[in-house]
Amino acid sequence: MRIATWNVNSINARLETATAWFQAHQPDVACLQELKCVDEKFPREPFEAMGYNIETFGQKTYNGVAILSKHPLSDLRRSFPGPEDDQQARYIEAVVEAPRPVRVGAIYLPNGNPVDSPKFAYKLDWFERLRAHAQGLLKLEESLLLAGDLNVIPTPDDARNPDRWVGDALFRPESQAAFRSLLNIGLYDAHALAGSPPGQWTFWDYTAGAWQRDHGIRIDFALLSPQAADRFVGFDTHREARDMDRPSDHVPVVVELAD
């Protein structure tokens, strides 16, 4: 089973790019982030024509997450416990009913900038809510994959120019500590499981020639429960997607689990 995660940076603006990548690589499951549209505006037809079942948690203009699967989806959940006034569409979860099921959560974690605003406190609170929810999921002792744009640069090795990010919410010690706390409940980073070397960036800004100069960062992750890690076969970062027509500023990463 091949499971992809990709921040598409507006599914309608990047539709031709996204469908071309899907047609070329045919992931069994995909977690998408930054849809930037309400559920009714998600372009279902081209993906359904490729055999995907689709569940979305959309929001106008901002955020939005989706799970696309060639297997049926069950036990659907949108968001997780938090403040009643938090309406941001940043998490969706479902069980992929494959012969060997896997529970998948698609994540778009808050950016948190500027750090001297309430946005940074919201980011850290959201991280803690995610950790608490994931801890509960691990108690189910099932194959679990949490994937998406976590908006954190965990270590200096995860940036081409770490000095450029000092003081940014993605590189703040508090954000890095929150990421470590998430891993420490018993999750495995697929990048580490694969023994991937530094330099496997997943994001290049559109400005200042970041792509041309390879000034990238790694902020998109696939995190596995022990049961999913036991099924781990491989991991790939699809860097070439950043060079497609009308690309997202992120690229897909793909995890392969044994069927």
The CATH number assigned to the domain holding 217 equals 3.60.10.10
> Which amino acid is present at 122?
Y
Query: What is the total count of domains within the chain?
Result: 1
DSSP 241: G
| Cβ pair 217, 191 in contact under 8 A | no
Distance, CA of 80 to CA of 1 (rounded, Å): 26
pLDDT of res. 164: 96
Q: What is the pLDDT of residues 180-193, one digit of tens each?
A: 999 999 999 999 99
Distance, CA of 254 to CA of 147 (rounded, Å): 10
Q: What is the pLDDT of residues 102-150, one digit of tens each?
A: 999 999 999 999 999 999 999 999 999 999 999 999 999 999 999 999 9
> Which amino acid is present at 84?
E
Distance, CA of 33 to CA of 106 (rounded, Å): 7
DSSP 162: G
pLDDT of res. 2: 98
Query: What is the Rg, in whole angstroms, of the alpha carbon atoms belonging to the chain?
Result: 17
Residue 176: which H helix or E strand, with range?
Answer: helix 173-183
pLDDT of res. 83: 85
pLDDT of res. 74: 98
- What does residue 49 show for φ and ψ, rounded to 5 degrees? -65, -25
Beta-carbon contacts of 207 under 8 Å, excluding residues fewer than 6 positions away, are none
Q: Could you report the average pLDDT of every consecutive run of 10 residues in the chain (259 residues)?
A: 98 98 98 98 98 98 98 97 89 98 98 98 98 98 98 98 97 98 98 94 96 97 98 98 97 97
pTM of the model: 0.97
Domain range enclosing 49? 2-257
Beta-carbon contacts of 69 under 8 Å, excluding residues fewer than 6 positions away, are 28, 29, 30, 52, 53, 94, 96, 104
